[in-house]
């Protein structure tokens, strides 16, 4: 990755602002043990120092309207969280951790927990809790959606506990008097809660056309049902970008939107629902630009980052670009629920321009001296980026956490591949399905450390359940005329569990960045030493 930072001369570029040439942060010889002729023989791009045309002069900064860069501590990912975001109430958020999840993962609240949560919601609805302790409407929407779906559609083991039943019986007569109509609808869409016979839920239709469409879809979701492709896309396009109530005349309440997002995930999305989330905003700014390159690899890491292990993809992509393989990364600065280190944070700390438009990324991919670019969701899909605040308040990952990893912010005239990470079993097939829907030549999903792409050299534990770390699955298109799949494309599938010993690596424990300052510093600044970070190897200092 040092090749991305080095700059012997100030060159007009749209990637990096000016850096002092003799700064101790950068080593001008990333491969000190290689003879210079060997370096030129191995690296196809002009050289590592100019692989990304490393400097932005003041004229370019002004031309592209790039804001001043502020540098934050790369080991404190929380420093990238926007100060404009309101924090969720921790008591209710802890409860959401337990109940806003799947049919087998949900952990019902006991009586003490349930009484505490409902009391907190009641006091907040009455206006007795202010500022950051207030329970947001998004939290209420997500929590009550989870309670409704559990009652309507979950198996007996994850439905309401006796403690939750007693708490609801105690608090609902009080809550129904003070909660807004949209939240009462989410909690009691049929008006049958505790035998009170409320008419609010059955008669609620929402305010405005956008909200009315969302309410109609939400009734099906709260019953444990699923929606069609066009129905999901229609809802998303109606209500996004999200704006606070009062800012958008035809928007939707955050409670309803939060309930919709978490409800779809709790019901485990169908393929058609995931495709709708994936493709809904492909042309938010018109058709994506097409880069004139022979091949392009899209890397889709989990947008909420890493908190325990090093993410190597940024450096792997930079090296591959030096060998003539164009690479495009995408992500965000900070994303819940994990709120970990992201590629954008690393690039920003190193002084990169993290505000490229897809069109500017296309130009970099086509440049023979570069072949590498990063696009932020903030620039390419502002409608989806507008949901970050709500995503923090629903606690769990929504369907977008899966589909945003399979994006094509720039397309290629040549062959394309998508590589992405996953963690929860079952979603590997969904990701590959979305890649095929994208029409790429090949696709790969990797269960790396923390669900990212970085693999490990450590041996598989005998206690491991489910899909192990280092599991890979994918497909490649064959140049055979066939009608076996839509579009006449034949695809060869494959899957394997990568054992580092088969590639000459000795088993080691992967350094934990959350437990060692030494390894944390190393992971940020020394990725080229004994390079093959895609295996998460224990590397020497350079």
Q: Averaged over 335-357, what is the pLDDT?
A: 94
Q: Which of 36-45, 88-97, 191-200 has the lowest mean pLDDT?
A: 36-45
Helices and strands, number each (H, E), in the chain: 22, 9
Residue 304 has what pLDDT? 95
Mean pLDDT of 464-485: 76
176 pLDDT more than 80:
yes
Answer for the pair 352, 52: CB distance below 8 angstroms, yes or no.
no
- In this model, does residue 58 exceed pLDDT 60? no
pLDDT at 158 over 80: yes
What is the predicted pLDDT for the residue at 250? 58
Per residue in 105-135, pLDDT (tens digit) is 999 999 999 999 999 999 999 999 988 799 9
pLDDT, tens digit, 9 for 90 and up, residues 381-434: 999 999 999 999 999 999 999 999 999 999 999 999 999 999 888 899 999 999
At residue 525 the predicted structure's pLDDT band, cuts being 50, 70 and 90, is very low
Average model confidence (pLDDT) for the chain? Answer: 81
Dihedral sign from CA coordinates of 290, 295, 299, 300: positive
pLDDT number for residue 198: 84
Which is more confident, 352 or 70? 352
Whole-number pLDDT of residue 425: 84
Domains with residue ranges and CATH for the chain: 90-268 (no CATH), 290-481+488-503 (3.40.1030.10)
Cβ neighbours, 10 Å, residue 471: 20
300 has a pLDDT exceeding 90: yes
Separation in Å, CA 190 to CA 125, 211, 309, 424 = 22, 18, 46, 33
Give per-residue pLDDT as tens, 350-383. 889 999 999 999 999 999 999 999 999 999 999 9
Q: What is the pLDDT of residue 147?
A: 98
pLDDT band at 512 (very low <50, low <70, confident <90, very high): confident
**Tens digits of residue pLDDT in 220-251:** 999 999 999 999 999 999 999 998 754 455 57
Annotate 126-144 with b (16+ C-beta within 10 A) or e (fewer).
Answer: eeebeeeebbbbbbbbbbb
pLDDT reading at 3 higher than 50: no
Which residues are CB-contacts of 73 (< 8 A; sequence separation ≥ 6)? 79
Residue 507: band (very low, low, confident or very high) from pLDDT cuts 50, 70, 90: confident
Cα 84 from chain centre: 20
pLDDT at 160: 97
Distance in angstroms (rounded) separating the CA atoms of residues 520 and 537: 14
Structure confidence at residue 293 as a pLDDT band (50, 70, 90): very high
The per-residue pLDDT for 335 is 97
How many other C-beta atoms are found inside a 10 Å radius of the C-beta of residue 25? 11
Q: What percent of the chain has pLDDT over 70?
A: 77
Return the residue matching tokens 């949209």: 182
């Amino acid at each position: 990755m040092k090749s991305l930072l080095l700059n012997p001369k100030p060159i007009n570029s749209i990637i990096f602002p000016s850096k002092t040439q003799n700064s101790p942060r950068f080593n001008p010889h990333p491969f000190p043990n290689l003879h210079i002729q060997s370096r030129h023989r191995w690296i196809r791009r002009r050289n590592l120092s100019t692989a990304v045309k490393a400097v932005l002069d003041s004229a370019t900064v002004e031309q592209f309207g790039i804001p001043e860069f502020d540098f934050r501590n790369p080991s404190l990912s929380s420093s990238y969280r926007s100060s404009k975001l309101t924090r969720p109430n921790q008591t209710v958020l802890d409860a959401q951790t337990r109940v806003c999840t799947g049919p087998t993962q949900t952990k019902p609240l006991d009586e003490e927990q349930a009484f505490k949560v409902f009391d907190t919601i009641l006091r907040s609805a009455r206006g007795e809790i202010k500022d950051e302790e207030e329970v947001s409407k998004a939290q209420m929407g997500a929590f009550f959606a989870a309670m409704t779906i559990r009652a309507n559609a979950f198996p007996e083991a994850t439905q309401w506990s006796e403690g939750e039943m007693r708490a609801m019986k105690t608090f609902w007569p009080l809550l129904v008097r003070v909660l807004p109509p949209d939240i009462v609808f989410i909690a009691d869409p049929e008006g049958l809660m505790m035998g009170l016979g409320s008419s609010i839920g059955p008669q609620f239709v929402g305010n405005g056309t956008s909200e009315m469409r969302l309410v109609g879809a939400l009734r099906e979701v709260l019953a444990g049902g699923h929606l069609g492709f066009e129905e999901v896309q229609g809802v998303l396009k109606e209500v996004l970008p999200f704006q606070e109530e009062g800012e958008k005349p035809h928007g939707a309440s955050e409670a309803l939107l939060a309930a919709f997002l978490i409800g779809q995930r709790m019901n485990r999305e169908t393929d058609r629902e995931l495709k709708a989330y994936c493709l809904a905003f492909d042309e938010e700014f018109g058709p994506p630009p097409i880069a004139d390159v022979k091949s392009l690899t899209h890397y889709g890491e989990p947008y909420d980052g890493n908190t325990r292990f090093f993410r190597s993809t940024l450096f792997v992509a930079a090296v591959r670009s030096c060998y003539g393989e164009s690479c495009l990364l995408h992500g965000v600065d900070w994303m819940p629920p994990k709120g970990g280190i992201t590629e954008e944070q690393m690039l920003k700390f190193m002084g990169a321009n993290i505000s490229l438009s897809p069109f500017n990324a296309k130009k970099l991919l086509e440049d023979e001296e570069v072949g590498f670019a990063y696009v932020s969701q903030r620039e390419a899909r502002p409608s989806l980026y507008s949901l970050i605040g709500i995503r923090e308040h629903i606690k769990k990952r929504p369907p977008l956490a899966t589909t945003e990893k399979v994006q094509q912010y720039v397309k290629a005239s040549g062959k394309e591949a998508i590589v992405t990470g996953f963690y929860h079993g079952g979603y590997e097939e969904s990701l590959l399905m979305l890649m095929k829907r994208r029409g790429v030549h090949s696709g790969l999903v990797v269960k790396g450390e923390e669900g990212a792409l970085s693999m490990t050299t450590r041996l598989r534990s005998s206690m491991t359940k489910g899909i192990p770390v280092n599991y890979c699955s994918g497909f490649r298109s064959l140049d055979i005329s066939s009608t076996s799949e839509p579009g006449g494309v034949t695809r060869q599938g494959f899957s394997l569990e990568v054992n580092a010993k088969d590639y000459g690596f000795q088993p080691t424990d992967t350094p934990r960045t959350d437990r060692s300052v030494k390894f944390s510093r190393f992971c940020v600044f020394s990725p080229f030493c004994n390079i093959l970070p895609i295996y998460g190897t224990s590397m020497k200092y350079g």
